[in-house]
């Protein structure tokens, strides 16, 4: 399979998943959505396996790394700011949904930062270790 | 500002080689070769050596670094 055919197949699979998920939301059927995701992922793996062209090289990895850093930074700052505003705006009413949402978002940010720290520690150990 | 440039487009033309062929020889995509030729992307040392090997040139004959 050529790269062009792969791109078309990828779009078709994504459209299929989106359509089935939309239908499953409309008819309120979670199993249908889960099935669609599983089938879509399996189809994507099958298609990827049949691609002869090179899909990932060092430039793609560099771009992915930079994009991931931007996504991480933006999401952490945005979520942290949102959670702090929700918590401090609702300090007087700690039973409110907004306050609890703020707390949940704080935990989400903390988990995201923990994952980043763990990954950073792992790669720093892998590439930055001084064996001498 | 420091800048890394290269003669890959020239060397490729001398060898009558397409971007696709060069990409296949060094194991990257054609987009990466295009970006390197335009000096928009600086390749890793490993890829730089692979490119030099294809053209049978020393690294300083292919890549130039200006401070």
In chain A, where the domains are located: 3-49, 58-128
pTM: 0.72
Give the sign of the dihedral formed by CA A65, CA A66, CA A67, CA A72. Answer: positive
Q: Extract the tokens encoding A27.
A: 């008819």
Q: Is A62 in Cβ contact with B32 (below 8 Å)?
A: no
Asked if B66 has any chain A CB less than 8 Å from its own CB, the reply is no
From chain B, the residues in CB contact with A63 under 8 A are: none
pLDDT in tens, chain A (132 residues): 777 788 888 899 999 999 999 999 999 888 999 999 999 999 989 988 888 777 778 999 999 999 999 999 999 999 999 999 999 999 998 899 999 999 999 999 999 999 999 999 999 998 876 655
Task: Calculate how close chain A gets to B61, using CA atoms only, in Å.
Answer: 22
Q: Where are the domains of chain B?
A: 3-66
Q: Could you tell me which residues are beta bridge partners of residue B66? A: B3
Q: What SS3 class is residue B66?
A: strand
* CA closest to A55 among chain B residues: B29
Task: Calculate how close chain B gets to A93, using CA atoms only, in Å.
Answer: 53
Q: Which CATH superfamily is domain B3-66 in?
A: lambda repressor-like DNA-binding domains (1.10.260.40)
Rounded to an integer, what distance in angstroms lies between the CA atom of residue A56 and that of residue A76?
A: 27
């Amino acid at each position: 399979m050529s790269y062009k055919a792969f791109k078309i197949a990828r779009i078709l699979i994504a459209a299929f998943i989106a359509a089935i998920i939309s239908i499953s939301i409309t008819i309120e059927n979670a199993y249908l959505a889960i099935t669609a995701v599983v089938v879509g992922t399996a189809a994507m793996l099958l298609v990827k396996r049949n691609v002869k062209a090179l899909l990932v090289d060092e430039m793609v990895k560099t771009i992915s790394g930079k994009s991931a850093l931007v996504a991480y930074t933006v999401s952490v700052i945005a979520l942290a700011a949102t959670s702090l505003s929700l918590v401090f705006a609702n300090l007087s009413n700690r039973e409110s949904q907004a306050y609890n949402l703020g707390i949940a978002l704080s935990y989400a940010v903390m988990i995201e930062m923990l994952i980043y720290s763990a990954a950073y520690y792992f790669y720093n150990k892998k590439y930055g270790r001084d064996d001498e | 500002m420091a800048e890394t440039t290269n003669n890959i487009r020239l060397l490729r033309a001398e060898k009558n080689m397409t971007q696709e062929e060069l990409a296949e020889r060094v194991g990257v995509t054609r987009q990466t070769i295009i970006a390197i030729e335009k000096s928009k992307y600086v390749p890793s040392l490993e890829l730089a050596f692979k490119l030099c090997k294809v053209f049978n040139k020393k690294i300083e004959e292919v890549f130039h670094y200006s401070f």
